[in-house]
Chains A and B, each alone.
Chain A
Amino acid sequence: MSLPMYYFLAITAIYILMSWAIYLPYRVAHLHFLVVANMTISGYLAGYMVMTLHVPFAVALITGFILGGLIGYVVSIFIGDAPTFAVVIVGFTFIYITRTVIENTKAVGGTLGMFGLPSIGGSPTAHRWIILGILYFLVLLVGIIIHRFEHSRLGRAASAIFVKKELAVSFGVDVKKMGMLLQTFSSTIAGGCGVLYGFIYKSFHLDYFTFYLIGIFMTVIFVGGYRTMWGVVIAAPILYGLPLLFPPAIASWRIVIYGAILIAVLVLKPEGFITRQLVYNIEKKISGGKN
């Protein structure tokens, strides 16, 4: 497999997983940008464990997931039912604090970053296949979990909270518990993604975890459609792949392109391209009109 194809497949998987990590809490109207801080913290910790403590990659990856989930859980105790803007600002603030701590911590390379992470499986080829295998297994696993969630009582409760919080409460939905569940799950995904993101490039640098990541994930969610999980799956490869087809001079403006696409979709097609109705119609067709 060529290197560009490897990067395309790997980064697309990261975009899908991370966009789902933001999509899930948004089901209860929370823009949970803490996930980018989770990515950074877990990623750097795993890098440190593998590089300095010589811990096996699998252990570092599992630690990344657990740490992400733990941070997500602790924070969700405070903001599980907070207003959207408070959740947003907590996420941004965490990102700033994380970046400052890493910038000033020499053990993880400070502003220079961590380079030269070992290949998993002994060779670069094995490394690529293992990373891709883990990533797409995760896409499948998380996809199934979200699909089951959407078709469960919990999914309907989340929809009720999104439409009107007060109404959901009057139906007996525990808004805080729902917020905590979704925030913790999305932080867990983000923790693992952070580890894998660094191991794709075999390095960790603060430039990998900038605010632009939030912009990219937001564009993926809102262009694909923020009311179903499938929008992300369609939008991620297209949005990541599109700038790769442009000449370098134009591709370097990809953030402007993403921003313009995001604004255009919000104005012209607010629900995104993959709407709930579209998914419902497709599911009906597949099941022969039994839905």
Chain B
Amino acid sequence: MEIVVAQIINGLSLGSIYVLLVTGFNLLLLVAMIIHFSYPQVVVFSMYIAWFTMKLTNNSVILAIIAGILSAILLNLLSAPLFQKVMKKREGVDINTTMVLSLGIGMIITDILSHGFNKGLPIAFPKVMVGDKPIIELGLISVSNGQIYTLVVGIIAVSGLFWLLYKTRAGRAFRAIAEDPNGAKLVGLPIFRTALGSYAITGILGGVTALLLAFLLGTTSPGMGDQVANKVLAVSIIAGLGNLTGGLIVGLLLGILEALVQGFISGSWANAIAFVVMLVVILAKPRGLFGMKL
């Protein structure tokens, strides 16, 4: 029983990360109308920037946090004109092309991380960031500071985003574009500027997620982005593309499922089982459990 409780706590922290990633992914899909498949690669890139900053600044956590978040915002904003250009060329929304473009961006990011940092080897964050022992220990149940940060910040970030979307003028603009881009244009909403706002917000979310991943896992590798990208797109499809609430539920469930399986089966098989479950659901319901919002 203790193992189950411990793994559920692990699962909730991991699930919070998936929720953050899927929310950012869905926001870009709904407002900027792109499938930013390599969004998790942007997150992993920010983890590397945070790690590099710590190396340069004698393990300054504050500077690492700032550098991590800024790099995610910058990378997202830099990719915005490319996506806009591709979409303009096709005279409308073309999810396929934006996905291919995003794959290209992902290829570049992953290869730069493989060549440019730590000789392509996985990186480990210093103890000053990840802590050296659990904060709470009750038998088999142990809670690290990374897990607490992830849960608390995850809840705050997602609540903040939902508050922004449903309680502010800017949020209404986001939702109007997501609902009917042509209607939103007709009533005078600045489509490009609002889309740019979604790139910036998802950049902030991405940076925060990168830091939470650093606190939670304490390590990363260039290939991590590919694996997470796959899971994020899978969660998004299972939930129903663009469905924010569905993404929240499925993201948390995937985190818990993965952690529970990991509690009883060795690491690499646990990942495969999570993928098999996702595959079965996608094959059975390719349009998602909660309905697409596109």
Contact = CB atoms under 8 A, between A and B. Distances in A.
Contacts of A252: 115
A266 B100 contact: yes
B283 A90 contact: yes
A31 interface: yes
Interface of A: 29, 31, 75, 78-79, 82-86, 88-90, 92-94, 96-97, 100-101, 103-104, 211-212, 214-215, 218-219, 222, 252-253, 255-256, 258-260, 262-263, 266-267, 270
B5 interface: no
Nearest to A33: B103
Given A100-B269, A100-B271, A255-B111, A85 B233 contact: yes
B275 A90 contact: no
A224 B105 CA distance: 19
Nearest to B111: A255
B86 A214 contact: no
Interface string B93-115: 00111011101110110111001
A96 B272 contact: yes
Interface residues of B, number: 42
Contact of A214 (B90, B96, B103): B103
6 contacts: A78-B283, A211-B110, A218-B100, A253-B111, A259-B104, A270-B86
B233 A88 contact: yes
B89 interface: yes
Contacts of A78: 283-284, 286
Nearest to A263: B104
A86 to B, nearest CB: 4
A290 to B, nearest CB: 33
Given A85-B233, A266-B86, A79 B104 contact: no
Nearest to B109: A259
A259 B105 contact: yes
Given A96-B275, A100-B268, A29 B96 contact: yes
Contact of A84 (B95, B112, B234, B287): B95
A85 B29 CA distance: 12
Given A86-B237, A89-B282, A104-B268, A97 B107 contact: no
Chain B CB within 10 A, most for which of A93, A103, A259, A263: A93
Main secondary structure of the interface of A (DSSP, over half): helix
Contact of A86 (B100, B269, B276, B287): B287
Contacts of B241: 85
Contacts of A258: 107
A29 B95 CA distance: 10
B245 interface: no
A222 B101 CA distance: 10
Interface of B: 35, 37, 82, 85-86, 89-90, 95-97, 99-101, 103-105, 107-108, 110-112, 115, 226-227, 230, 233-234, 237, 241, 268-269, 271-272, 275-276, 278-279, 282-284, 286-287
Contact of A263 (B82, B90, B96, B278): B82
Nearest to A262: B104
Contact of B90 (A75, A253, A255, A270): A270
A255 B226 CA distance: 14
Contacts of A263: 82, 101, 104-105, 108
Nearest to B85: A267
Contacts of B95: 84-85
Contacts of B101: 262-263, 266-267
A259 B109 CA distance: 9
Contacts of A259: 104-105, 107-108, 111
Chain B CB within 10 A, most for which of A78, A92, A212: A92
Nearest to A84: B96
B269 A104 contact: yes
Given A86-B282, A101-B272, A267-B85, A218 B230 contact: no
Closest 7 CB pairs of A and B: A100-B272, A259-B107, A86-B286, A82-B286, A259-B108, A255-B111, A262-B104
Chain B CB within 10 A, most for which of A79, A94, A100, A270: A100
A255 B107 contact: yes
Contacts of A89: 230, 233-234, 237, 278, 282
A101 B268 CA distance: 9
B276 A215 contact: no
A134 B227 CA distance: 35
Chain A CB within 10 A, most for which of B107, B237, B286: B107
Contacts of B110: 211, 255
B108 A256 contact: yes
A79 B286 contact: yes
Given A82-B286, A215-B103, A93 B111 contact: no
Contacts of A219: 104
Given A78-B286, A267-B82, 7 more contacts: A93-B278, A93-B282, A103-B268, A215-B107, A253-B115, A256-B111, A256-B115
